[in-house]
Structure 1
């Protein structure tokens, strides 16, 4: 269900490298959430660095949304770069696992597999 890899890079460097990889695969970065910063702004001290990239390929998103509009609840794809236990990790919920939760999952499977292959490549290139 999860795909997580470890990197020797710090969170900032890995997130920047991931953002570059995302663009090479013709996905867009819709937003980057800095979880640590956001929590600090809310008065919560959170020690683990965490960047969450919301990424999307517009053509594939349109394809799955045309098949099942409820899939909007699972979009965009989120890839996290975070620090835990003294190690930097890059990970995501596998698109195949996420889209399998929806009615008509069989029709979505091919697109989910394609997006999963590409996002895994992005993660591995950024590691």
Structure 2
């Protein structure tokens, strides 16, 4: 497990596709919704680039989104929340950008408490999906 100020990453014994499916399931269990999944590997391969598997899973909770947007619409630049599943040298990882950085990027918006709540959900999704 790697916890940086900006991201939270956990290695998993699951294969890549199983980890992606687990993120989708864990997202629903946390009361959030998967909005879109970007298959970065497929996109880059279609342009002739060879990369290891990587999917960016965009997730959201309408209640939290409404609350932060009401405080500062510019926070939309960092929305929706993203969880990445990727492999490096045969190891699968699940990683998320930590919502707590919103409070750092928008210090006057008053989103500290909301960011902490969403951060807890995001970390719970990553942890549940990695098991």
TM-score (norm 2): 0.91
The aligned residue for residue 44 of structure 1 is 49
What stretches of structure 1 of length at least 5 have no aligned partner?
none
Deviation of 1:121 after TM superposition, in Å, equals 0.5
What count of residue pairs does the alignment treat as equivalent?
125
Contact (CA 8 Å) 2:75, 2:102: kept in 1 or not? no
Stretch of structure 1 that moved more, 60-69 or 92-101: 92-101
Select the residue among 89, 94, 99 that pairs with 2:98: 94
Superposition CA RMSD, Å: 1.1
What stretches of structure 2 of length at least 5 have no aligned partner?
none
Deviation of 1:126 after TM superposition, in Å, equals 0.5
Contact (CA 8 Å) 2:102, 2:111: kept in 1 or not? no
Contact (CA 8 Å) 1:11, 1:51: kept in 2 or not? no
TM-score (norm 1): 0.93
Paired with 1:102 and 1:85, the residues of 2 have a C-alpha distance of 36
State the 4+ residue runs in structure 1 displaced beyond 6 angstroms.
none
Contact (CA 8 Å) 1:74, 1:99: kept in 2 or not? no
Contact (CA 8 Å) 2:95, 2:126: kept in 1 or not? yes
